């Protein structure tokens, strides 16, 4: 039936065109063209559906193949970022642990009571780093409590804890944040301030959270005989990489220094 329909339909079109426009466009169809054999139309009309089917299936195959490749490329990009992020996070805990053990060693020889207090506070901080920080995000309130525990830990190990200033203000909204981001900045401030040995050193940290925006501002002295703080330091490079992975186009990080002080600021959009 398909053959017969195609045959008569195309012949009708050719004949009609020849009659309607015989002279205007001087269209003349050869008699052979107007009287193709049924066998020709059978071949012609029969091949069209198969050709269309093959074309459609080929287009679908390549479309699906391209889609699968796009999915693979996207997965590889995400997996690469996750692997890099896990590596960067793994570099934080050992650095903190080595510093803490050095502080504990110092306190044991100086004051047994302080060393015991330090050990208890250290276990609290380590519990957060080892367990809670494994999550992709944590409640901001927990991260802030962890920072305060870390600051208290550091106060125990220095001669003039009053030189450490911590201020915070936050609205009552619930936010999530990637763990250990803020700690990396604060730990860097303690490391370079010289506050552990210098009575004139100081460290001021101000945290403000409002309208889905976090602002952290830190000012600290630069300790004598300590490595100069620079944008190329390993800890800051790690921090910048994490921020670019986790908060791309959603953060601003700045570090400025003069001869005596360093000024660090971080802004994160928590939406």
Instruction: Report the side by side order of strands in the sheet with 251-257.
Output: 164-170, 203-210, 213-221, 261-269, 251-257
Does a structural domain hold residue 86?
no
- Mark which of 81, 109, 137 sits at the end of a domain: 81
pLDDT, residue 26, reads 45
Number of domains within the chain:
2
| Segments forming the whole domain that contains residue 134 | 91-269
The DSSP bridge pattern shows strands 176-177 and 213-221 to be unpaired
Cα separation, 151 vs 147, whole angstroms: 6
Number of C-beta neighbours around residue 216 at 10 A: 21
Q: Give the model confidence (pLDDT) of 148-165 as tens digits.
A: 999 999 898 888 899 999
- Mark which of 17, 50, 81 sits at the end of a domain: 81
Does a structural domain hold residue 178?
yes
**260 and 205 in one domain?**
yes
pLDDT, residue 75, reads 74
Query: Among the listed ranges 19-23, 54-58, 194-198, which one has the minimum average pLDDT value?
Result: 19-23
Q: Give the model confidence (pLDDT) of 206-221 as tens digits.
A: 999 999 999 999 999 9
- Alpha carbon separation from 236 to 24, 150, 183, 223 (Å, rounded): 82, 19, 12, 18
**95 and 72 in one domain?**
no
**63 and 178 in one domain?**
no
**254 and 123 in one domain?**
yes
Kind plus residue range of the DSSP H or E element containing 252: strand 251-257
Largest distance between two CA atoms of the chain: 116
**CATH number, position 188:** 3.30.565.10
pLDDT of 133 above 50: yes
Is the pLDDT higher at 111 or at 269?
269
For residues 113-120, give the mean pLDDT.
87
253 bridge partner residues = 266
Q: Give the model confidence (pLDDT) of 66-116 as tens digits.
A: 677 777 777 777 766 777 777 677 666 677 778 788 888 878 877 888 888
77-81 own/partner pairs: CB under 8 Å, 24+ apart: 81/245
**238 and 104 in one domain?**
yes
């Amino acid at each position: 039936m398909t053959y017969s329909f195609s045959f008569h339909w195309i012949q009708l079109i050719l004949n009609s065109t020849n009659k309607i426009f015989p002279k205007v466009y001087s269209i003349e169809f050869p008699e052979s063209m107007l009287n193709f054999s049924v066998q020709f139309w059978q071949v012609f009309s029969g091949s069209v559906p198969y050709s269309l089917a093959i074309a459609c299936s080929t287009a679908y195959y390549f479309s699906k193949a391209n889609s699968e490749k796009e999915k693979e490329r996207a997965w590889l990009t995400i997996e690469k970022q996750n692997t890099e992020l896990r590596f960067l996070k793994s570099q934080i805990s050992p650095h903190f642990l080595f510093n803490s053990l050095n502080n504990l060693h110092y306190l044991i020889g100086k004051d047994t009571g302080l060393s015991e207090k330090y050990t208890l506070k250290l276990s609290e901080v380590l519990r957060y780093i080892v367990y809670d920080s494994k999550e992709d995000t944590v409640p901001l309130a927990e991260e802030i409590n962890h920072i305060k525990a870390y600051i208290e830990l550091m106060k125990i190990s220095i001669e003039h804890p009053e030189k450490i200033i911590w201020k915070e203000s936050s609205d009552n909204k619930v936010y999530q944040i990637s763990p250990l981001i803020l700690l990396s900045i604060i730990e860097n401030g303690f490391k370079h301030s010289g506050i552990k040995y210098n009575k004139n050193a100081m460290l001021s940290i101000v945290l403000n959270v409002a309208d889905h925006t976090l602002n952290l501002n830190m000012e600290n002295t630069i300790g004598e005989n300590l490595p100069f703080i620079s944008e190329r330091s390993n800890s800051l490079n790690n921090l910048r990489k994490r921020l670019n992975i986790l908060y791309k186009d959603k953060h601003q990080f700045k570090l400025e220094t003069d001869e005596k002080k360093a000024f660090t600021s971080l802004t994160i959009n928590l939406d």
